[in-house]
Structures are given as C-alpha cells and as structure tokens.
Amino acid sequence: MQTPKREYTTMSDINVTPFVDVMLVLLVIFMVTAPMLHEGLDVALPQAKGEMIKDEASYVTLTINKEGQIFIDDELFAINEVSEEMKRIKTHWDKKVLLKADKQIHYGLVVEILAELREAGIEDVGMMTEPLSE
C-alpha cells in the first residue's frame, strides 16, 4: 500500500507578529526619548510674577542668550536677519511670539529686537520669565 502524496503549496500570508513587536519597541523608544528632545537653549531668565504658558507649541520662540546670539526656534540668526525671518514665519503660520532674553544682556539689544519684530509687523510679543522663588 502506497501513502498518498501531499502537495505542498507556498504560503502567501505575511507573518505580522515580528512586525508588531518591532513597532511596539519603536513606540516605547520614541515615547521615552521625545520629552528629552526639546532641551532648549541655556538662558537665565529674570524672575517675575505671571501666568504659566499653557500651549508653548503655538508660539514662535525668539531667544537671546548671554552672548547676545539670537535664535528663532533654536536656529541662529543675525540681528539684521530677524525681521525678514519673522515676516516669512508670519506669512506661513499664525503663531504668537515669545521673547526669552537672558537677564545679563543689555536692554538696548532687547529694544533692537523688539524694533525688528515691529518692522516685521508683529506687535503682540510675550516676554518669558522664571516664576518667583519663595
């Protein structure tokens, strides 16, 4: 008696279990590293009373560090480039501007930056401070 021959066919289904495992590992990695990515610039802000900003993502942050370097959302600009960049940002996004200036820089530089912002058509500027320590 002869045993019947079995016909083997190729399987056309994809095994998604390894794919799901890799995706879950990547999800966990991104969830852990995402809060650490927005490190920001080292600026010693002055202390004052004020309200906390609720949604900082809806703002364009203009930062002046203690060396007098000007950053718009972590990108370095010269003072004469600020007006043009802010005009470009204003035409593409409707975001408010937050000014973070180190407490050791000269007041004149802050006034120059505010003049550049006004030239770009931005009149509503928020000044960021640290909360008062008790």
> In whole angstroms, what is the distance from residue 119 CA to residue 42 CA?
27
Residue 130 tokens, joined: 């640290």
d(CA 134, CA 127): 21
Q: What is the pLDDT of residues 23-76, one digit of tens each?
A: 999 999 999 888 776 555 566 666 667 666 666 667 888 888 888 899 988 889
Location of structure tokens 């906390």 = 52
Q: Return the number of other C-beta atoms located less than 10 Å from residue 117's C-beta.
A: 20
CA distances from 78 to 11, 64, 68, 91, 130 (A): 62, 11, 10, 20, 26
pLDDT (average), residues 99-106: 86
- Model confidence pLDDT, tens digit, residues 9-29: 777 778 888 899 999 999 999
- For residues 71 and 15, give the distance between their C-alpha atoms in angstroms, rounded to a whole number: 48
| CATH number given to 56-127 | 3.30.420.270
Each domain of the chain, given as residue ranges in start order, spans: 56-127
Longest CA span, the chain:
103
Residue found by looking up tokens 């640290």 in the block: 130
pTM exceeding 0.75:
no
